[in-house]
């Protein structure tokens, strides 16, 4: 019986070839657009996460004490707490990590040597860079270059210069490509660095790097010692410590443990980029909403062809019922037609989507995709998203066949045959 119903369903669809092909094409185009859009958004998210994990620290220990002076001493558990009031206003102390070498020793101890793969102290400073008539505010980051290379792989991202040249050049700069373009900097150019306080210093460009992360490419690296001098910090203080851990995706517990041990705030890369990850999540919800809405539109197209089929084939349906076909079998036949139309359109759309994804991925156009700069578009080839969208499309097309199939099942053979001109 199933073979008979399948044969009749195919004849119904082939009997209206133009309308069937138009419906299949509509389903295919909507499927292609949805898969391509989802591939673009997911590809951008995957590319962002991969780039951040490879370039940025997995955990950042900041110079923010986790045991600050309580605001209201009367609410403290210790009743003997005493508050001292100073009658003059003082400048707030900058956030800094003291005795950072002792903390590095803890990180390299047997307890953490398998959890923490690399640790790099750094000093951040807001400065003004001047070259000729051009000037630009910059974020200056002082690092121990070998430790920083273990965190971000900066050595492999140098498009000009090398680490050895940076180490042997006095007051050397590693300049991000964005800064180099804005200030027209080239190798061995001299740049005057003007800090917010203290004297200016003449530095020399010893390398230009490109990481793909816009925030990083808009900064400049110098030696840790030079940054401490510019920022006015003693040798035992830094702004923070960047960490690379064994499992960057399960790092919240380790960050909390390090906070408890060191007494300083430890932020994971997920917390540092929470706003961007939240934006990607919202975009994902929008894309899947589009899947539902466009799928419903495709379902109306499928329902339309089946309603027309029921209207034109009402005599055939009446004859089938008079020959013993049950209402359930008729419903199954039209649902099968909806399934075949949806499946054909979804599969064609999947093939078209593969071509569209390859086209976008191969475009030699450098684009700044949010926080990243990429050549070509970051596209995802994850088959799970293909199967999910194709499955939703087929499901909606199948469900759209229920209404016309129910109408066909309600036809009375006697009245249909009496009113028709046989």
Do residues 157 and 242 share a domain? yes
Domain count of the chain?
2
Chain segment 358-383, per-residue pLDDT in tens: 888 887 766 565 566 666 677 888 88
Instruction: Give me the domain span that covers residue 189.
Output: 59-67+94-247
The DSSP bridge partners found for residue 173 are 205
What lies within 8 Å, CB to CB, of 11 at 6+ separation is none
The maximal CA–CA distance of the chain, rounded, in angstroms, is 107
pLDDT at 343: 87
Point out the least confidently predicted range of 40-54, 180-194, 274-288, 395-409.
395-409
pLDDT at 216: 83
pLDDT at 422: 44
pLDDT at 405: 67
Chain segment 252-293, per-residue pLDDT in tens: 899 999 988 888 999 998 888 888 778 777 877 777 777 667
Of the candidates 13, 11, 9, the one whose C-alpha atom is nearest the C-alpha of residue 334 is 9
Do residues 240 and 380 share a domain? no
Residue 73 predicted with pLDDT over 70: no
Residue 69 predicted with pLDDT over 50: no
Residue 84 predicted with pLDDT over 60: no
Do residues 43 and 187 share a domain? no
Do residues 238 and 295 share a domain? no
Do residues 109 and 207 share a domain? yes
pLDDT at 398: 78
Do residues 101 and 243 share a domain? yes
Do residues 63 and 30 share a domain? no
d(C-alpha 188, C-alpha 170), whole Å:
12
Do residues 133 and 220 share a domain? yes
- What integer is the mean pLDDT of 212-225? 87
What lies within 8 Å, CB to CB, of 126 at 6+ separation is 137, 138, 139, 140, 195, 196
Q: Residue 16: inside a domain, yes or no?
A: yes
Instruction: List b or e across 255-275, with b for residues whose CB sees 16 or more CB atoms inside 10 angstroms.
Output: beebbeebebbbbbbbebbee
Do residues 114 and 234 share a domain? yes
d(C-alpha 389, C-alpha 387), whole Å:
6
Do residues 63 and 204 share a domain? yes
Do residues 149 and 281 share a domain? no
- What integer is the mean pLDDT of 158-172? 90
Residue 37 predicted with pLDDT over 90: no
Do residues 405 and 389 share a domain? yes
Q: Residue 263: inside a domain, yes or no?
A: no
pLDDT at 221: 93
Tell me the CB-side half-sphere exposure of residue 128, using CA atoms within 13 A.
12
Q: Residue 84: inside a domain, yes or no?
A: no
Chain segment 95-121, per-residue pLDDT in tens: 788 889 999 998 988 888 889 999 999
d(C-alpha 20, C-alpha 14), whole Å:
7
Q: How far apart are the first and last CA of the chain?
A: 27
Residue 331 predicted with pLDDT over 90: no
d(C-alpha 360, C-alpha 41), whole Å:
13
Strand runs (DSSP E) across 304-398, as ranges? 366-369, 372-375
Residues 46/226, Cβ–Cβ less than 8 Å: no
More confident residue, 399 or 422: 399
* pLDDT band of 352, cuts 50, 70, 90: very high
Q: Residue 240: inside a domain, yes or no?
A: yes
d(C-alpha 198, C-alpha 73), whole Å:
38
């Amino acid at each position: 019986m199933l073979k008979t119903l399948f044969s009749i369903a195919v004849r119904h669809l082939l009997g209206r070839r133009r309308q069937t092909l138009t419906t299949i094409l509509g389903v295919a185009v909507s499927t292609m657009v949805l898969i391509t859009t989802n591939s673009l958004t997911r590809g951008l998210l995957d590319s962002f996460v991969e780039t951040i994990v490879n370039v940025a620290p997995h955990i950042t220990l900041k110079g923010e004490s986790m045991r600050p002076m309580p605001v209201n001493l009367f609410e403290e558990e210790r009743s003997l707490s005493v508050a001292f009031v100073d009658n003059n206003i003082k400048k707030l102390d900058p956030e800094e990590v003291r005795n950072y070498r002792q903390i590095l020793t803890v990180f390299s101890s047997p307890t953490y040597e398998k959890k923490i793969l690399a640790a790099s102290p750094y000093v951040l400073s807001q400065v003004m860079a001047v070259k000729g008539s051009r000037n630009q505010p910059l974020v200056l980051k002082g690092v121990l270059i070998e430790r920083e290379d273990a965190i971000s792989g900066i050595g492999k991202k140098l498009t000009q210069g090398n680490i050895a040249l940076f180490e042997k050049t006095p007051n050397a700069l590693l300049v991000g490509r964005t800064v180099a373009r804005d200030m027209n900097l080239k190798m061995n150019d001299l740049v005057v660095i003007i800090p917010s306080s203290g004297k200016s210093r003449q530095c020399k460009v010893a390398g230009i790097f490109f990481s793909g992360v816009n925030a990083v490419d808009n900064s400049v690296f110098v030696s840790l010692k030079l940054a401490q001098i510019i920022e006015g910090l003693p040798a035992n203080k830094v702004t923070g410590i960047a960490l690379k851990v064994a499992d960057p995706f399960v790092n919240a517990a380790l960050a909390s443990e390090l906070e408890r041990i060191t007494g300083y705030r430890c932020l994971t890369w997920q917390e540092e980029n929470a706003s961007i990850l939240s934006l990607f999540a919202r975009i994902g919800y929008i894309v899947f909403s589009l899947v539902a809405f466009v799928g419903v539109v495709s379902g109306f197209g499928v329902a339309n062809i089946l309603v027309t089929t029921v209207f034109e084939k009402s005599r055939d349906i009446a004859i089938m019922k008079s020959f013993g076909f049950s209402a359930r079998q008729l419903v199954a036949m039209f649902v099968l037609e909806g399934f075949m139309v949806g499946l054909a359109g979804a599969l064609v759309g999947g093939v078209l989507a593969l071509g569209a994804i390859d086209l976008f991925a191969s475009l030699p156009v450098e684009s700044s995709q949010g926080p990243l700069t990429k050549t070509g578009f970051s596209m995802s080839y994850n088959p799970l998203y293909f199967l999910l969208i194709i499955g939703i499309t087929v499901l909606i097309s199948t469900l759209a066949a229920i209404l016309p199939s129910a109408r066909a099942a309600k036809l009375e053979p006697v009245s249909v045959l009496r009113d028709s001109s046989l």
